[in-house]
Amino acid sequence: MTTHYPVAMQLNVKVPMRDGVQLSADIYLPQTAGAFPTVLMRTPYSNNTDPLIEKARRLANVGYACVLQDCRGRWDSDGDYYPFREGEDGYDTQQWIGSQTWSNGKIGMAGGSYLGAVQWQSAPHRSPFLTCMAPRVICCDYYDGLVYPGGAFQLNVLMTWGMRTNSRTGQSIDFHNWTEALRVLPISSMDELAGRNLAFWKDWIEHPAYDDYWEAINDEKRWSDIVAPALNMGGWYDLYAQHTFRAFNGLRLQGGSEAARQSQLIVGPWPHALSASPRTGDVDFGAHSMVDLDALELRWFDYWLKEIDNGIVKEAPLRLFIMGDNVWRDEWEWPLARTDWQKWHLHSHGSANTLRGDGTLHPDSPEAEASDHFIYDPDYPVQTAGGNNCCSPHIIPWGPYDQRAVEMRQDVLCYTSAPLPEPLEVTGPIQVVLYAASDAPDTDWTAKLVDVSPTGYAKNLCDGILRARYRESFAHPTLLQPNRVYQYTIDVGVTGNVFRKGHRLRLEISSSNFPRFDRNPNTGHAYGSDAALRCAAQTVYHSQAYPSHILLPVIPGK
């Protein structure tokens, strides 16, 4: 039977860092004698917010110490803020907690998004007190996972989130005209014209290729240094969806201890705000799609921090919500071992433009077929319509929405299957291999997987982008030879979805998804300083020589 304690508070406690900077922490303790396991949450968004305070008090009620700390340079903490440089501060804080009389020497970390980043960044430093983690909705590779997915700048989240966190306290961005602000060129000056001067924005623009700047904060290179197990939490419509699986696999397969290799993951039909509503975008996934993630997290902490044998590590390490059927299912690995990897090829008679075109999608290999053409005009880009976005849903909605308005554009190629005679489950990472040419020295290629119902409703599942100059390497970009055919491999994200009987699969191919991603100006100039735009004539091939296809992780039926 759980004992419930009253709560004692110690507010604005100064925690010294190795360079003398002091960070502010609010500490919530069970009001009883003894030493306690500690849950640490570090935040740039103020430790004096109702959700964090309520969570800290709940934890203290059941016998945990809880430390809520403002990150360096934010709110009541000293120093200068610079995002994703949190490893040493996290380690120093853990060492300080471990030396306190109210600490029993075991620390768990909790929180999502940036509050998840601080967990991963501290873990490779291997404080002997860090016992487990519970990161939600975050990546470990900030180049591919956040700033430059597929080599394209993830404009919306970086601009809106960056402007909110550029100073010591929170900043309102609700009164900007974002339709105009996100079109500012050159992109290097976008922050200034929107009223800010962001040092980290300038640095990101100056490092468009993967280099030492990104290597220094890539925790995917340090799996073997991490000994603390992680309970990962993610959503199919979160911007970090595929990276949540990468973090799960990173520790399961390469973690530096037996405990780390017992890490787990839960993924629901959620956007960045996990399990906040049964409805995501247009779709109501049902009350059973909701999970009490704090209760799951508490079981994790009880096992690792209180050594309560509640059986959690004997359960399947992967729990997935399979959309379409709208059911939860336990799995043991990712991708699923029983996956039937199927190539579904692009076909047309040369007129796949719009959903009314003649583009089709089916497993048969292409024969001699006409290629498809469109003009990508960066002054009139394809608009983002839901998807894996963050963090301002009033600016760009997130989640599943009807894509038919997008699919009526001439610069969107649509390849659609016949109605399915039986349900088809697609669960896993999605990849498109595209053979294409452009008359520009650089351009972008986008791909989106869509579930089309018998009514015609076109629900987006996942999407991706690849900047052409990074087709061979994110570290060593090379421009295109105009009108030469290249092979592009586009990571389209992850999904877990059953296409029900009578539904159709659709693949969209285009060259922009704005303002989720910045517009490629098609000039081939150095990134960030270009105010010029030019149109690009694009050609997509599907033939015996150039078999463009989508690789689907099909899960056999029972």
- pLDDT tens sequence across 306-339: 999 999 999 999 999 999 999 999 999 999 999 9
92, 219, 272, 444: the catalytic one is 272
> Is omega for the bond preceding 482 within 30 degrees of 0, making it cis?
no
Both structure tokens of 73: 């340079």
- Give residue 1's pLDDT: 65
- Give residue 284's pLDDT: 98
pLDDT digits (tens, 9 = 90+) for 484-507: 999 999 999 999 999 999 999 999
- Give residue 15's pLDDT: 98
191, 219, 238, 442: the catalytic one is 238
- Give residue 436's pLDDT: 98
238 noted as active-site residue: yes
Res. 400: pLDDT tops 80? yes
Res. 177: pLDDT tops 90? no
Res. 393: pLDDT tops 80? no
207 noted as active-site residue: no
All domains in the chain, ordered by first residue: 7-139+222-331 (3.40.50.1820), 144-206 (no CATH), 340-555 (2.60.120.260)
pLDDT digits (tens, 9 = 90+) for 186-231: 998 888 766 777 889 999 999 999 999 999 999 999 999 999 999 9
pLDDT digits (tens, 9 = 90+) for 335-373: 999 999 999 999 999 999 999 999 999 999 998 899 999
Report which of residues 286 and 395 the model is more confident about. Answer: 286
Helix (H, G, I), strand (E, B) or coil at 284: strand
- Give residue 190's pLDDT: 84
Residue pair 347/360 in contact by the 8 Å Cβ criterion = yes
pTM of the model: 0.97
24, 77, 103, 113: the catalytic one is 113
- What span, in angstroms and rounded, lies between the C-alpha atoms of 357 and 373? 12
The residue type of 230 is: A
Res. 275: pLDDT tops 70? yes
Instruction: Round to the nearest angstrom and report the end-to-end CA distance of the chain.
Output: 41
pLDDT digits (tens, 9 = 90+) for 139-170: 999 999 999 999 999 999 998 888 878 778 87
Buried b (16+ CB within 10 A) or exposed e, 72-110: bbbbbbebebebbebbebbbbbbbbbbebebbbebbbbb
Res. 23: pLDDT tops 80? yes
What's the whole-number average pLDDT of the chain?
96
